[in-house]
Amino acid sequence: MINVFLVDDHEIVREGFKKLVKEHNDINIAGEAKSAEEVIERMPKIACDVMLIDLYLPNKNGYQLLVELKKQHPEIKAIIMSINPEQKSALRAYKLGAAGYLCKDSSIQEIIKAIHKTHENGRYISPEYAELLAFQTIYSNQDEVEKLTDIETNILIMLYKGLEIREIAKKTNLSVVSVFNYRKKIFENLKLQNNLDMIHFVKENIILG
């Protein structure tokens, strides 16, 4: 039996999820809360295997709750639920210790799969984040990296892997000129003079898994 704790400020979301998981006999809703503050207050008594956390909670957000959860209950697997599909949000969640990151419009089948995977293996990466997160991107210079958009991050990784401009254009559905301009902007923002600088930057700031 997998004990799951729900954290979402919308009661309709919590009630809807509880109804949907009734069909799954191996999942038990062990508790619920509508705010990070409520969870933190109850933290010493909380007993669960997996915690589903809404990213955009009032006052303290899901990231802040995640940090506190990892301090007090590192054994609990946290899955961040968000309306935001942006890769940087997912990366930040994983860096803070999340076991999974899902969009709130994910199917119940994917949510159940994520619960099982995190309980069994400790981590779940949904398909839309798999390629980027396969690199286990961990940044040592956050100020520089924050200058990069998602597409720039992807292009930087492909450049590091040795792909030519035309190959990157084909993979990203961008024109060759657009990719060339992205490369120029990336190099300018990161103060890179040449490909050797780029390779050093990736090696120093991105841990490749």
Residue boundaries of the structural domains of the chain: 2-126, 142-205
Exposure pattern of 129-165 as b/e (b: 16+ CB <10 Å)? Answer: beebbebebebeeeeebeebeeebbbbbbbbbeebeb
Of the candidate ranges 37-51, 90-104, 144-158, 174-188, the one whose mean pLDDT is the lowest: 144-158
Name the percent of the chain lying above pLDDT 90: 51
Quick check: 209 pLDDT over 50?
no
Q: Which residue has the higher pLDDT, 117 or 191?
A: 117
Q: Which residue has the higher pLDDT, 123 or 14?
A: 14
Pairwise CA distance, residues 121 & 49, whole Å? 12
Is 142-205 in the same CATH topology as 2-126? no
Domain 142-205 has CATH 1.20.1530.20: no
pLDDT (average), residues 156-174: 91
Pairwise CA distance, residues 190 & 45, whole Å? 46
Please give the pLDDT value at position 140: 47
Please give the pLDDT value at position 141: 53
Q: Is the dihedral of CA 149, 151, 152, 154 positive or negative?
A: positive
Pairwise CA distance, residues 28 & 192, whole Å? 52
pTM (2 d.p.): 0.65
The DSSP symbol for 33 reads E
pLDDT (average), residues 58-73: 91
Q: With contact defined as beta carbons under 8 Å apart, do 116 and 2 qualify?
A: yes
Domain 2-126 has CATH 3.20.20.70: no
**Cα 61-63-65 angle, rounded to 5 deg:** 70
